[in-house]
Amino acid sequence: MKKPTCNDNLPEWARGWLAGLIDGEGTLTVKRRRRVDGSVKYEPIIVINNTSRELLAKIREVCGCGTIVKHSERYTLMHPNWNVVWRLEIKGSFNVVTILKQIYPFLIAKKRHAEILMKICEKLIEAYNTKQRVDSTSIEKLVSELKELTHRGRKH
């Protein structure tokens, strides 16, 4: 069985701190990539954007996982007078569910997002562990629900 690389025993203070950061600055989402055979690969991801690379480095240190990258050049070109934005990405079902289960009780704004993303992770982990195909229909339904929560702009 695959194991997460993230810290599965965050200190209590870190759980609330991280939940606050994700509620305010984070995104809980799923990347979809079409494979050569036409199937879809789903990759759960936690993203935190910030202009402080040091803050993101501290989060990565506490979580024991994640990658820090500079925001896309396109984003920088669109906002030439803005500070450089960095992003911390925690990817993969095992890592994402490990972090979300620990911070879930402390989440407020992103609590429902976390519930949905944890369901997605659990379905992907079950398929991985049983070597079965992912049930794309149920995953797509959950992804749609997640996207509806993160929809920007006017309410319909």
In tens, the pLDDT along 69-103 reads 997 777 777 777 878 889 999 999 999 999 999 99
More reliable by pLDDT, 51 or 155: 51
Is the overall model pTM greater than 0.85, yes or no? yes
Higher pLDDT, 150 or 12: 12
| pLDDT above 80 (res 149) | yes
Closest CA to 117 of 28, 42, 23: 28
Rounded (5°) CA angle 8-10-14:
150
| DSSP state letters, 47-68 | EEEES-HHHHHHHHHHHT--EE
Q: What number is the average pLDDT over the span 49-72?
A: 94
Query: What stretch of H or E contains 40?
Result: strand 40-50
Domain boundaries, the chain: 12-149
Asked whether residue 1 carries a pLDDT value surpassing 60, the answer given is: no
Tokens of 52: 């402080």
Report d(CA 41, CA 32) in Å as an integer: 6
Has residue 44 got a pLDDT over 80?
A: yes
Percentage of the chain lying above the pLDDT 90 cut: 73
Does 12-149 carry CATH code 3.40.1710.10? no
152 CB neighbour count, 10 Å cutoff: 4
Residue-level pLDDT at 79: 75
- Mean pLDDT along residues 18-26: 96
